[in-house]
Chain A
Amino acid sequence: KAGVTQTPRYLIKTRGQQVTLSCSPISGHRSVSWYQQTPGQGLQFLFEYFSETQRNKGNFPGRFSGRQFSNSRSEMNVSTLELGDSALYLCASRSALTTSGYYEQYFGPGTRLTVT
């Protein structure tokens, strides 16, 4: 089974621009979550999508948005980029509930965004 893929892997943008990151989950996984990782704040939850619906959202400004398509692929968009948005953006793909009663969650390799 192929793992979680994220594109692009690296990105350099300037302040004020916008950016779109893409995530393709593991085949059969319908839940996709996004996380931001910075040296200062660690790993923080952005939002989660399941069957094209946003089910949960973290404490981030409205400049951060996302969506999920019918094939479960997800995109996140950051508008009006700020220097502080420089981070590793990780996507996680989650399985359905297993017979043991837990979820399996796997992370993609991440997109490293640098804002100058």
Chain B
Amino acid sequence: EDKVVQSPLSLVVHEGDTVTLNCSYEVTNFRSLLWYKQEKKAPTFLFMLTSSGIEKKSGRLSSILDKKELFSILNITATQTGDSAVYLCALYNNAGNMLTFGGGTRLMVKP
């Protein structure tokens, strides 16, 4: 069974700090790795990573995939209270019809 593990489970930081969220997986074959942000509602899409070593950036957020070491990281710089959320990592199977999610990292940013 495909397995996706996120760490840490939860994290408390202060505004302005930089955080790194980890996602490791035990999947031999997949189409892409996705990161989502979930507040008190549906997950919202952040990044899709398909190639190893290519960093994706969006403002203060960035993410990279390492297919050799089987992990991805999500970095958030200069954190703000609005970044407080659960961050989810998921793998898209090759057929593109199923996402396998990790358990998420709960981030709390204090003012």
In contact, B97 and A31 (Cβ under 8 angstroms)? yes
In contact, B42 and A108 (Cβ under 8 angstroms)? yes
In contact, A56 and B88 (Cβ under 8 angstroms)? no
Segment at the A interface, from B18-26, B70-78, B101-109: B101-109
Give min CB distance, B99 to chain A, whole Å: 6
- The interface residues of chain A, by DSSP majority, are classed as strand
How many interface residues does B have (CB within 8 Å)? 25
Interface centre among A58, A92, A97, A105 (most CB of B within 10 A): A105
Which residues of A have CB within 8 Å of B41?
A: 109-110
B45 close to A (CB within 8 Å): yes
In contact, B88 and A43 (Cβ under 8 angstroms)? yes
Cα–Cα, bound, A35→B101 (Å): 10
Q: How many A-B residue pairs have CB under 8 A?
A: 57
In the complex, per-residue mask of B35-66: 1 if CB is within 8 Å of any chain A CB, else 0: 01000011111001010000000000000000
Cα–Cα, bound, A90→B90 (Å): 15
Interface residues on A, range: 20 to 34
In the complex, which residues 89-113 of chain A have their Cβ closer than 8 Å to any Cβ of chain B? 90, 92, 94, 97, 101-110
Q: Using CB atoms, name the residue of chain A closest to B49.
A: A102
In contact, B95 and A102 (Cβ under 8 angstroms)? no
Which residues of B have CB within 8 Å of A103?
A: 31, 92, 96
Which residues of B are in contact with A by a Cβ distance under 8 Å? 31-32, 34, 36, 41-45, 48, 50, 88, 90, 92-93, 95-104
